[in-house]
Amino acid sequence: MAATTIPGQHVDIRLWARPEAVEDLAMRQLQNIAALPWAYKHVAVMPDVHYGKGATVGSVIAMRGAVSPAAVGVDIGCGMSAVRTSLTAADLPADLSRLRSRIEAKVPVGFGMHKDEAFGDRDGGGWADFWHRFDALTPLVRKESGRALKQMGTLGGGNHFIEVCLDEDGRVWLMLHSGSRGIGNLLAQHHIEVARGLAHNAALPDPDLAVFIADTPQMAAYRHDLYWAQEYARRNRAVMMRLVCDVVRREFPAVRFEDPISVHHNYVAEETHFGEEVLVTRKGAIRAGRGDLGIIPGSMGTGSYIVRGLGNPDSFESASHGAGRRMSRNKARKQFTPDDLAEQTAGVECRKDSGVVDEIPAAYKNIDDVIAEQSDLVEVVAKLKQVVCVKG
């Protein structure tokens, strides 16, 4: 669908969602973002848009010489990975509970962590240099080095998940969603507070939109920690995917795995748009440059999409990161029961208890509608439906 343009105070807002479907709180946030003097061209808003802390989830913000840490979010580098396997639906057993339990035994979820380091050369190189750079992070987190080591290769909770999926041709895919775990959260919270205290942010309409300015010590410190946390998140997904592949290989020794697809959807990138070098913040959005493969998940009972970017310049070459919530977690807990969850996740081997009711499919937008609303941003490569879903 074509984007709708809404005038803003400094730059316009370009919506790949129906304006009447955007909640009032989210629209006010978007107007606040569009009023920032550092905003460039326009704010691009994805069809999964919804209210978030500081910046709206599903927003793409380009800035000249500035960046807002709250516009990244507290889970720096959160994103998705997916791998297509040689298995087909016919290879899977009727009872998938053992496969789910073995994945849960291999990958710690929720607040869990590994007893020992779970990463190594099989997950890629550069580990020694990566951990050496930990000592150069803000001093606030240095005492967390042991925790960061043992959380490498762990899932977390909330909307993070590991899934076994089938595409429309019956091929088995492995997919997971996670970020930079506790260490990324600590770094984000620290820098958000630093930004709020800077004099140039005193008159902002929303203090959570406080920015760092180029060529300042605060900006340099943030970018250093930010890029490290984004790498942590990428490595975390790689370790988890290897662990999940190990489980699947144990169950199906002849299985083969294709190259993984991996994307961030809460991050900052230095990019060139409309002929200018800018800092692009995607909070709940993926890069969708021409030919880029991406992953757009739905909820735990509805399925997901593998997509290929069309490189639309008006979206800053971006697309949505998922279905997007249509109601808050608290509202979902009040409105739905475990019986509702069991009904809406029929056919999926997953938790169906009160601890994950806030992740019920009805709390999310319709993923098929979200994909249809961005037909000028991405093309569909594959549609997936989960048969196993692991949550913390």
Q: 230-270, pLDDT tens digit by residue? A: 999 999 999 999 999 999 999 999 999 999 999 999 999 99
The neighbouring-strand residues paired with 12 are 42
Sequential pLDDT tens for the chain (392 residues): 689 999 999 999 999 999 999 999 999 999 999 999 999 999 999 999 999 887 899 999 999 999 999 999 899 999 999 999 999 999 999 999 999 999 999 999 999 999 999 998 888 899 999 999 999 999 999 899 999 999 999 999 999 999 999 999 999 999 999 999 999 999 999 999 999 999 999 989 888 899 999 999 999 999 999 999 999 999 999 999 999 999 999 999 999 999 999 999 999 999 999 999 999 999 999 999 999 999 999 999 999 999 999 999 999 999 999 999 999 999 999 999 999 999 999 999 999 999 999 999 999 999 999 999 999 999 999 999 999 999 98
Is residue 160 a known part of a binding site? yes
User: What Å distances lie between residue 292 and 130, 284, 307, CA to CA?
Assistant: 26, 17, 8
pTM for the structure as a whole: 0.96
Is residue 304 a known part of a binding site? yes
Q: Token digits for 207?
A: 């203090």
Residue 106 phi, psi (nearest 5): -90, -35
Which residues are catalytic, by number? Answer: 321
Of the chain, the percentage scoring pLDDT greater than 70 comes to 100
User: What Å distances lie between residue 25 and 57, 70, 75, 128, CA to CA?
Assistant: 12, 16, 21, 45
| Residue of 122, 136, 339, 293 lying closest to 229 (CA atoms) | 136
**Fold entry, domain 4-66+83-326+364-391:** tRNA-splicing ligase RtcB (3.90.1860)
Is residue 163 a known part of a binding site? yes
pLDDT tens digits, 72-112: 989 999 999 999 999 999 999 999 999 999 999 999 999 99
Q: Report how far apart the first and last C-alpha atoms of the chain are (Å, whole number).
A: 36
Domain boundaries, the chain: 4-66+83-326+364-391
Can you count the helices (H) and strands (E) in the chain? 9, 17
